Structure 1
Amino acid sequence: IPNDGTSLKDMMKSHEKPCLIKSLINPREVSEMESTFGSWMKDTALLHDERIWVAEHFSGRVVKEYKSIGSFQNASFTMVDVRKFFQGCGHTVHNGSLYYHIAGTPTIARFHFETRRLHTLTMDNALHHSLAYLLQNSKTYFKVAADENGLWLIFASDVDDSIMVGQLDQKTFSITSYINTTYPRGKAGNAFIACGVLYVTDTKDTRVSFAFDLLKGKPVNVTFDLRPPGGVLAMLSYSPKDRHLYMWDNGYVKLYVVAPWETTLYMF
């Protein structure tokens, strides 16, 4: 699908100095969890919101809300019904709302925590059932990602199994531009987006093995180690607010600091 969105073109103007992650540093193990699968999230947009939300397992209808990292480690939480059953571990909390995939459908939900209002976005021509996952290891069909440019939706095309990325407009809750990375979903373990670049891990989630600059529409030459082999990496998300990677790795939630950026090297 051609990349012809005007908003993406506008963003390219501010992308004159592209950046890549060189490595991850300062790993921090935050807590051990009961479930192998799940997502833990802080709001990627609201600067002073220290709440943490946890969606346990790869399917459910409630999330746990913690007031702070201290409450999270002390297991002091309230339950929030998000109105529909979610699927996978690709959720994101952004600007007061939880974005998630409604199980069994080609639909993305935006649930606002304060108003409890639910908005939906239907994605045609996207894989969304019958175990044809975007990310097999975490049983995820859709992944919502936030970076310095806003929100993105990562999914797999039902035409050729390629990994697709759509730019999400928050005001209209719609996709304004599509990017086809042409990278097959069968080679992907997990994925995240930072500074306009999509990073994809190998099938064992040990290394970042593929990267694609979404604003330039080109693969970039970068690989780096992520984690030792073994266990399930259920969640891998970047937060532009603190430039940390959030992980749910083999039943533990962890934080990694993103190392300083470097100049992008394009592959032709």
Structure 2
Amino acid sequence: MRASILLLLLSAWALSTAQNYYEGLMDYLENRFLAMEDRMEVWHEQSNRYHTELRDFKRLSADIMERLGKEHDTLHHDLERAGVKVERVEREMEYLENRNPPRPCVNAADRVVEQRTWKVEERRGGAEEEEEEEEEEGAWEEEFSRVSDCVDVISNIRSVKILKKVGSPKGMWTRDPLSSKVYVFNGTAEDTLHQFRSVLDLSTSPGLDLSRPIRLPSRVSSLGSAVYNGYLYYVREEAGADLQVVKYDLLNASVTESAMFPVTGRAPVYSLNPETLVELAADHEGLWALYAASDWEPNINLAKMDRDSLDIEQMWDTRCPRENAEAAFVVCGTVYVVYNTRQPSRSRVQCVFDVNDVLTSEEAPLLYFPRRYSAHASLKYNPEERQLYGWDDGYQILYRLALRRKQLV
């Protein structure tokens, strides 16, 4: 009997202990769940706050972007209106230039084409005219004897004459400074050079069919060619071979000299005319070459070459960038680099390099070419006439230049 009572008491105690344990465990779990619910509630509050702040930020950003878009549209319309006004002013200026052209025949040194091309007054004939021509020729010789030391720089563009339109959008035309013959390359890589007896013959011809074609030994990089004293200087490029500068006798139709040109790669000298790898130019000082030393070279380099042997005498880094350059020319040892944009606008001389370090880009006047058609494929300077022969979208254009003396130190 006692044993049964003891057993009952032990069982009751065990059950009481287990019940207390499970009650404590349930209380613990309930407290943990309550804590988790509190944290989840805090997280939801923070999430709602962040969502509200993000929504407000997006609304504010949308308002700002909308205002910026409206301001951008307003600025774009203002720029369009300004562009229309500039084009209208340019058309009015061109109209006034055509209605009131400048007097080109001040003296023989300023003659643009020939005495018959831009003539101001009728020929008067007789002994009086012959006497005036002799005096004019004497003045011409005297003036050019004064500038033969070649210390002149360009001050402005005096006038423009659009001769005609013949050929493809890109090409080159020039006149031999020591003769009246005119030479035309139609295209960027040609083996035929078209010769005319004078600028007048080219202006009156219906096309290139009436020219005297000169077939060259190979296709050449025509845009960078130069003509001087009966010789054609051009760049020959062949696949897998180095660039060569070739001197070609136009009278005898033969190659008289050739030399390798020291460049690595085939980088164009002008980014806007990638067909021109080397630009050759001739003036009173000799033969010049403008080029890019390598594919990664950002600037245009200049080399002075011997006109007879084609040896390189000296080389310079002009510090004029190749980017957005369309053409360049050399006047009295000074390089003038002409720039434009991918969407053609007004060409301008923006960088100048003087081999004698007399003239700097900051001191040189900012020259703007009158807006015409597209962009210059080539610009060739004639030192005897002091004018540029330009090729612009198939149009042959003459730019008369005004020169002044360098400020020597």
TM-score by length of 2: 0.56
Q: Assess, with a 3 A threshold, how the Cα gap between structure 1 residues 62 and 209 changes in structure 2: closer, same or farther.
A: same
Q: Which amino acid aligns with 1:53?
A: Y
For the 8 Å contact 2:162–2:395, the answer to whether it is kept is yes
> What is the SS of the residue equivalent to 1:200?
strand
Shift of 1:80: 0.5
> Partner of 2:357 in structure 1?
216
The 2-side partners of 1:264 and 1:189 are apart by 28
Q: Summarize the alignment of residues 24-63 of structure 1 with structure 2, pairs less than 5 Å apart.
A: 24-44=157-177, 46=178, 49-63=179-193
Q: Does 1:135 align with 2:267?
A: no
The 2-side partners of 1:148 and 1:198 are apart by 14
> Partner of 2:213 in structure 1?
79
Q: Assess, with a 3 A threshold, how the Cα gap between structure 1 residues 162 and 114 changes in structure 2: closer, same or farther.
A: same
> Partner of 2:284 in structure 1?
148
Give the greater-gyration-radius structure (CA): 2
Between stretches 239-248 and 140-149, larger displacement belongs to 140-149
Q: Which amino acid aligns with 1:255?
A: L
Shift of 1:265: 9.1
Which residue of 211, 231, 235 maps to 1:97?
231
Shift of 1:237: 1.4
- Aligned pair count reads 247
The CA RMSD over aligned residues, in Å, is: 2.4
Shift of 1:235: 0.9
> What is the SS of the residue equivalent to 1:115?
coil
For the 8 Å contact 2:348–2:369, the answer to whether it is kept is yes
Q: Does 1:22 align with 2:129?
A: no
Q: Does 1:122 align with 2:260?
A: yes
Which has the bigger relative contact order, CA under 8 A and spacing at least 6?
1
The 1-side partners of 2:157 and 2:359 are apart by 23
> Partner of 2:250 in structure 1?
113
TM-score by length of 1: 0.84
Structure 1 or 2: more strand by fraction: 1
For the 8 Å contact 2:348–2:367, the answer to whether it is kept is yes
Which residue of 254, 259, 262 maps to 2:402?
259
> Partner of 2:376 in structure 1?
233
The 2-side partners of 1:81 and 1:53 are apart by 13
Q: Assess, with a 3 A threshold, how the Cα gap between structure 1 residues 18 and 70 changes in structure 2: closer, same or farther.
A: closer
Identity of aligned residues (%): 23
Shift of 1:229: 6.8
Offset from partner CA, 1:120-179 (integer Å, 9 cap, x none): 12112254x3xx311233321111112231211111111623211111112222111111
For the 8 Å contact 1:88–1:141, the answer to whether it is kept is no
Offset from partner CA, 1:197-247 (integer Å, 9 cap, x none): 100111336110000102338733222102327513111111101111110
Between stretches 141-150 and 196-205, larger displacement belongs to 196-205
Shift of 1:262: 4.6
Q: Which amino acid aligns with 1:219?
A: T
Q: Mind listing any 5+ residue stretches in structure 1 that lack a counterpart? A: 1-13
Q: Assess, with a 3 A threshold, how the Cα gap between structure 1 residues 255 and 17 changes in structure 2: closer, same or farther.
A: closer
Shift of 1:187: 4.0
Q: Which amino acid aligns with 1:210?
A: C
> What is the SS of the residue equivalent to 2:234?
strand
For the 8 Å contact 1:106–1:126, the answer to whether it is kept is no
Shift of 1:30: 1.1
Shift of 1:27: 0.7
> What is the SS of the residue equivalent to 2:201?
helix
The 2-side partners of 1:67 and 1:90 are apart by 22
Q: Mind listing any 5+ residue stretches in structure 2 that lack a counterpart? A: 1-146
Structure 1 or 2: more helix by fraction: 2
Shift of 1:117: 2.1
The 2-side partners of 1:55 and 1:234 are apart by 11
The 2-side partners of 1:88 and 1:64 are apart by 12
Shift of 1:26: 1.8
Q: Assess, with a 3 A threshold, how the Cα gap between structure 1 residues 15 and 65 changes in structure 2: closer, same or farther.
A: closer
